[in-house]
Amino acid sequence: MGFCKLVIALGGNALQEAGAPATAEAQLEVVKKTCEYIADISCKGYEIAIVHGNGPQVGRILMASKAAENITPPMPFDVCGSMSQGYIGYHIQQSLRRALDKRNKKVPVVTLITQAVVDKDDPAFKNPTKPIGAFYTKEEADKLKTEKGYVMKDDSGRGWRRVVASPVPKRIVELPAVKVLWDSTICVAAGGGGIPVVEQEDGSLKGVAAVIDKDLAAERLAEDMNADILMILTEVEKAAINFNKPNQVDLGHITVAEAEKYMGEGHFAAGSMLPKIEAAVMFAKANPSHKAIITSLYKAVDALEDKTGTIITLNK
Nearest-Å Rg of the Cα atoms of the chain is 20
- Quick one: CA torsion of 96, 187, 53, 227, rounded to 10 degrees? -120
List all residues 6 or more positions away from 151 whose beta carbon is below 8 Å from its beta carbon: 128, 145, 162, 163, 164
Residue 157 is a catalytic residue: no
- 276: annotated active-site residue: yes
* Residue 30 CB neighbour total at 10 angstroms: 18
Catalytic (active site) residue 12: yes
Question: In the 3-class helix/strand/coil scheme, how is 157-197 assigned residue by residue?
Answer: CCCEEEEEECCCCCEECCHHHHHHHCCCCEEECCHHHCEEE
The answer to whether 279 and 219 have CB atoms below 8 angstroms apart is yes
The Cα–Cα gap between 54 and 310 comes to 24
214 counts as catalytic: yes
Which residue is catalytic, options 11, 55, 130, 309? 130
Q: Which of 59, 192, 276, 291 is catalytic?
A: 276
Amino acid identity, position 228? D
Strands (E), 58-191: 109-111, 115-117, 130-136, 151-154, 160-164, 171-172, 186-188
- β-pair partners for 164: 130
Catalytic site includes residue 193: no
Indicate which residue of 54, 191, 214, 309 is catalytic: 214
How far is the C-alpha of 17 from the C-alpha of 27, rounded, in Å? 8
Active site residues: 12-13, 130, 214, 276
